[in-house]
Amino acid sequence: MCCKEFLLLLQLTLNKMLMNEKLKNVIELEMFKNKINKLELAGYMNMSYPTMLSKLSEPGTLKISEAARLCDILNIELTELLNVKQ
């Protein structure tokens, strides 16, 4: 791998990390506004608590159907979650 490819890969990795952080912030804020904790959210999402923790730590791994369900629970539009800017 040449230096240029490495830098591109590094930039993509950093962008993914920043996007995950921004998604986490949006989700956590909406959970706070709706007074929903992680355990309750796991129940509403029909997921185990460990799976919910994993999804919340890496929200980029949410399936579209999971993201849609999450938005329904948190009373936000799916487009609001999908349009989180880098």
Element (DSSP H or E) covering residue 8? helix 3-33
Structural domain boundaries, residue 43: 19-82
Residue 86 in this model has a pLDDT that exceeds 60:
no
Assess if residue 34 is contained within a domain. yes
Assess if residue 14 is contained within a domain. no
Alpha-carbon span 52 to 41, nearest angstrom: 8
Assess if residue 13 is contained within a domain. no
Percentage with pLDDT > 90 across the chain: 58
Residue 85 in this model has a pLDDT that exceeds 60:
no
Assess if residue 42 is contained within a domain. yes
| pTM, full prediction | 0.80
How many angstroms separate the first and last alpha carbons of the chain? 26
Identify the pLDDT of residue 46. 97
